[in-house]
Amino acid sequence: MSRSSRLLLLLQVLATRRRPVTASELALELNISERTVYRDLAELASQGVRVEGEAGVGYRLKPGFFLPPLMLSEDEAEAVLLGLDYVDQRGDEVLLKASLNARTKIQSVLRSAAVSRTSVRLSSPGPPVPPAFPENAVPLNKLRAAIRSQSKLELAYRDEQGTESKRIAWPIQLAFLHNVRILIAWCELRKDFRTFRTDRIVSVIEREHYSEPRGTLLRRFRAEHGVDATQDS
């Protein structure tokens, strides 16, 4: 493996770790010596990559660092393309457009030989035809914006029997299921996580930011419910 390839691989490993990783762990994963790991870390730092840590404790990328576009392997490309197929079938207009753009980028970076060998389709034969989802009174983009800004939402919500109620919800995730879309949120009224079908949300009023970090709430939800819904963060 060339040094440039090894440096990129080291960056990828660091980018996928949420906690500091020691030089010995990096050496084992990359099949190189610890001495080489230290040299490569120093080289990344000299090139402006924001690596923090120390020997014996571990290393990680500082928040805010983004990897440059990397060549995908054939297996990686197929995995991504299969995920995009799901988006084509279940996504809303925003995600459908993002899926098309992502698919185009993948095609542009795959070598022609890889394109000919891939076992999944690389482009849609025509516009995707998603299932007929119930219409939403509140655009999903408004819910996305609240999730990303970590803002509370005052919801007017209509249940299955048609009874309307008011809730203060801390939105953390949109989930795209077989034939419905749901908003996952912490409900102040119930003091617990609740799911709200987006087609039953009558109206929303965006309020102040909620106090607990969204990432913490997501981890709690997944731990309590044992699920990891297809998400739009």
- The pTM of the whole model exceeds 0.75: no
Please check whether residues 159 and 207 belong to one and the same domain.
Answer: yes
Alpha-carbon radius of gyration of the chain: 22
- Show the tokens assigned to 221: 């939800």
Looking at residue 21, which CATH number applies to its domain? Answer: 1.10.10.10
CA-to-CA distance for 110 and 77, rounded, in angstroms?
A: 8
Residue 229, pLDDT score: 44
Confirm whether 126 is domain-assigned.
no
The count of domains in the chain is: 3
Residue 64, pLDDT score: 63
DSSP 99: H
Residue 85, pLDDT score: 80
Residue 74, pLDDT score: 65
Name the residue among 128, 103, 126, 125 with its Cα closest to residue 115: 103
Query: In which element (H, E) is residue 173 found?
Result: strand 164-176
Residue 135, pLDDT score: 83
Please check whether residues 103 and 169 belong to one and the same domain.
Answer: no
Sequential pLDDT tens for the chain (233 residues): 678 878 888 888 888 787 889 999 999 988 899 999 999 999 988 888 888 887 778 998 887 665 555 556 667 777 787 788 878 777 788 888 888 877 777 766 555 445 544 554 544 444 455 556 778 889 998 999 999 899 999 999 999 899 999 999 999 998 888 778 899 999 999 999 999 999 999 999 999 999 999 989 998 998 988 765 444 43
Confirm whether 57 is domain-assigned.
yes
The CA-to-CA distance between both ends of the chain, in Å, stands at: 35
